[in-house]
Amino acid sequence: MRIVIVGSGGAGKSTLAIRLGECLRLPVVHLDQVFWQPGWKRMTFEEQDLLLGPLLAGDRWIIDGDHIRTQKRRMAQADTVIFMDYPRWRCLCRVVGRAIRHRKRARPGMNEGCHERINWALLRWVWRYKNLERPQLIANIAELDGKNVIVLKSDREVAGFVQGLVASLPHA
């Protein structure tokens, strides 16, 4: 099983990935953790592509992250695409909240040395996501053939999805 989780910053992609990884016993890859080096230094596109190849070659994984440049490539290798389509106000609140909660340290799903911070570039990206990146994401999803696509728009939908998944799993 290969699952890609996409959506705006602050939508809860990493949190859902961790929960699903525990439920399904799948390894979780956080693209932010892979693509950002300590001190918030972004890897080059060439370095990103070299690292992404072996990750996608596996037959069992969950990869979360919205990095639009590699989105089609990840979706092509996935069985399931989960789009966390949250309102921008909710995402902004979460970004601010996690910056406060994880101040001066790395949040789960991020490299050590990438201390949580809040800046105008991040806030602007989250605010503009709906108009700038979401349309491309929707177009990428529309091109998928034979993939299981799940759109989650609220915490209630996420909870129901996870609860349904857990209920469907064989119990030991």
What's the predicted TM-score (pTM) here?
Answer: 0.91
Alpha-carbon distances of 94 from 29, 49, 86, 138, 139, rounded to whole Å = 21, 29, 11, 23, 26
Tens-place pLDDT, residues 73-103: 999 999 999 999 999 999 999 999 888 887 7
| Residue-range domains of the chain with CATH | 2-167 (3.40.50.300)
Q: What pLDDT was estimated at residue 172?
A: 47
Residues of the chain falling short of pLDDT 70: 106, 111, 114, 171-172
Structure tokens belonging to residue 129: 């996501």
Per DSSP, the residues of 132-162 read: HTHHHHHHHHHT--S-EEEEE-SHHHHHHHH
Q: What pLDDT was estimated at residue 67?
A: 86
Tens-place pLDDT, residues 37-52: 888 788 888 998 998 9
Q: What pLDDT was estimated at residue 96?
A: 92
CB atoms within 10 A of CB 14: 21
Q: What pLDDT was estimated at residue 171?
A: 66
